[in-house]
Amino acid sequence: MKLTPWFAAALRIGSFWAAPLLAQVATDENQIVVTAQRSGAPMWTIDTPTGTIILVGEIRAVPKSTPWQPERLTEATGEASRVILRAAPKFSPGDVLRLIFRGGRFTRLPDGTVAADYLTTEQRARLAVLEAEYGVDYDRRSFLMSAFDLLARRLDFDNNTTDDATDIVRKAADRADVPIMRPDRFRGEDLLDNLAEAEPASHIACLNAAMAATEAGQGIIQTRGNDWRQFDVPAVMANPLEIALGTCWPWADDDLGDEIRDQWTGMIADAAQDSGVTLAVVPLRVLAEQDGVLDQLEARGFPIGGPVWR
């Protein structure tokens, strides 16, 4: 078919404008990625037919002495098309009352039992050493509460820290009116019921990991931050503190843990259909663990660029 002169001219003009426009879009997306990467947080990128997904691997409680630049992440967030952030559980007034009336189920071992009824001789001896060192009595406490006390009060892992990446991105997205997407929120009732129904022995692995982290000493806190900043993801995952945080409830619960991972994988896969840049802040342990989100996305055929995670 012979093109009329005006139609041929229109095609040439259209091609003239379309190529620079597409190039500009690609350049803008690349610039956002580069800006985010300059923050120093480990991250992975997925290029899709319609845009780019940035996955920021978050660890909680980054020490202030860890040399990263959160302002770069703030800048990148302001230019993103949308962000995906974790959701806090949804607690109702009824959930608070349930916690008050059933608090003993969460904080204490069942009546008539003590730690030695569940722990091996060696485990009880390790716990006794820590009790003597810190002047506390864990004999009747639930193993989960004892583990939390060791990590938060004795190891003091969350002292003198900076804002988490989630908080930084949330504030930046609010200021720039960037849409925020979140996984479905867990109901407080479901979480409390799940915790109340758990057998004491199900939290022994958490206690063991918390004891190991506390015994290792506070040096592991800075080491974890430095490894995170140096993108040594396997080292972060092998850190006793990260192991403890990932071994305790709710992450280690089969039902809750699987649901958390499936939520993230589904949201990121859905974002591959969107145009522009999606910036997602995901807990590193959920991303990089065996059969975690990165493994699942790779199995689905997504091209993932970034640090080695296993």
> What is the pLDDT at residue 248?
87
CA–CA distance, 157 with 154 (Å, rounded to integer):
8
Give the start-to-end residue ranges of the domains of the chain: 27-305
First to last CA, the chain: 57
pLDDT at 100: 47
* pLDDT of the residue at 297: 95
Task: Tell me what pLDDT residue 260 has.
Answer: 82
Return the pLDDT at 202.
Answer: 92
Torsion of the alpha carbons at 107, 112, 117 and 119, rounded to the nearest 10 = 10
The Cα 260–Cα 86 span in angstroms is 10
Residue 227's pLDDT is what? 97
- For residues 292 and 55, the answer to whether their CB atoms sit within 8 Å is no
The pTM score is 0.85
Burial class (CB in 10 A: 0-12, 13-18, 19+), 283: buried
pLDDT value, residue 14: 46
Take residue 22 and report the two structure tokens written for it: 């597409």
pLDDT tens per residue across all 310 residues of the chain: 444 554 444 434 444 444 444 444 555 888 999 999 999 999 999 999 999 999 999 999 999 999 999 999 999 999 999 999 987 655 445 544 444 445 566 789 999 999 999 999 999 999 999 999 999 999 999 999 999 999 999 999 999 999 999 999 999 999 999 999 998 766 656 666 667 778 999 999 999 999 999 999 999 999 999 999 999 999 999 999 999 998 987 777 777 778 888 889 999 999 999 999 999 999 999 999 999 999 999 999 999 999 999 8
Give the model's pLDDT for residue 89.
58
